[in-house]
Amino acid sequence: MNKRERASLFVKNHQSLFACPVCHGVISTVTASGVMCENGHQIDFNRHGYLHFLNTAGDAKYGREMFEARRQILSAGLFDGIIKAVNQALPSAPQVILDAGTGEGTPLLKLANLRQQEADTLIGFDIASAGITLATQLPLKAFFCVADLRNLPFAEHSVDSIVELFSPSAYSEFNRVLKPGGRLLKIIPNSDYLKEVRTLLYPADDRHATYSNDSVLSLFQKHYPHSTVQNVRYQFAVPQSLRQQMVLMTPLHWGRHVQQPTPDQLAALDSVTVDVDLLTAIVN
C-alpha cells in the first residue's frame, strides 16, 4: 500500500477517535481519498499520506531545514533520556497515545521502539506541515496529521495518554480528548537546558541568554494541582559531524541578536546539557 492507502486504512480502523475540526461532528465516511463528517465537511488525504485539519497552509515558521537537523540530532540520541523517562511514566498496557507537537516524529518513533507494544495506537500531530511530511517517512505504524492543538480533530474521551515535548499546551482541549484517568506527560526545559548553545549564540546580557520555566510550571500546576514533577538531567555528547545541526535544530538560533558561531566555536561544542522536568498529571 502507498502512504495514502495506509493512512486511509488507519483512520477507517480507528474512526471513532476522530472528530470534524469544523463542526466537531463524528467522521461518518472514510474513503481512499479522504474523510467526511456527518455534516458534510470533507478533508482529503494528501500525497504524503496525512490529513491537513487546518483551514490555512499551516505554520511555515518551522521549516524543513530545522526539522531535518532535528531528526539527525534526535536520531543520534539527544532526547533518549527524556524518552526513557516518558516511557517509564506510561502504563505498560496498550494505549492510545497522542504526541502533541510531534515535529518530524522521531521522539514518537523512539518511544514506540522502547514500548514494543504492538497494540498501541499512535497518533502524532503538529501545526508545521514540513515536520509532518517528514514524519510520514518514518518506519513507524502511526498516523500523522496537521492540526491545531486549540481545536483538536479528535473525539471526546478517546485518548489514553498525551505526550508533549517542549510544545505549547491547550489544557481544555487536552482534558476534552483524554479518557477519565488518562495521563498528560509534558516536558519543559529548565534553565540549564542547552546552556552551551545559548552561550554560543547570545551575549550574557541578551534576554535569550537565560530561561525560566516558572510561569509554564505554575500554569500546569494550577490546572493539575496533584501533578508530579520529575527532573531529567544528563550530558549529550554531540557528534563532531552534527555540531552545526545541533544549532539549527533549535529555535534559539532565530533570535534578533543571535551571533553566528565560528567554525572553531562549533568544533568546541562537544557536549550539551539536557535538563528538563517531566510533568505528569492524571485527568479525571
CA gap 133, 152 in Å, rounded = 19
Cα dihedral sign, 219-249-80-183 = positive
What are the residues whose beta carbons fall under 8 Å from the beta carbon of 74, sequence distance 6 or more? Answer: 106, 107, 110, 249
- Residues in a beta bridge with 252: none
| Strand order across the 271-283 sheet | 51-52, 143-146, 121-126, 96-100, 159-165, 178-189, 271-283, 228-237
Tell me the CA end-to-end span of the chain in Å, nearest whole number: 40
* Residue in this structure with the C-alpha cell 523512539, named with its chain if needed: 110
For residue range 26-79, list pLDDT tens digits in order.
999 999 999 999 999 999 999 999 999 997 766 667 789 999 999 999 999 999
CA gap 148, 153 in Å, rounded = 8
For residue range 233-263, list pLDDT tens digits in order.
999 999 999 999 999 999 887 767 788 899 9
Query: Looking at the whole model, is its pTM more than 0.85?
Result: yes
Average pLDDT by stretches of 10, the chain with 284 residues: 92 96 95 95 93 78 90 98 98 97 97 97 96 96 96 97 96 98 98 95 87 96 98 98 95 80 95 98 94
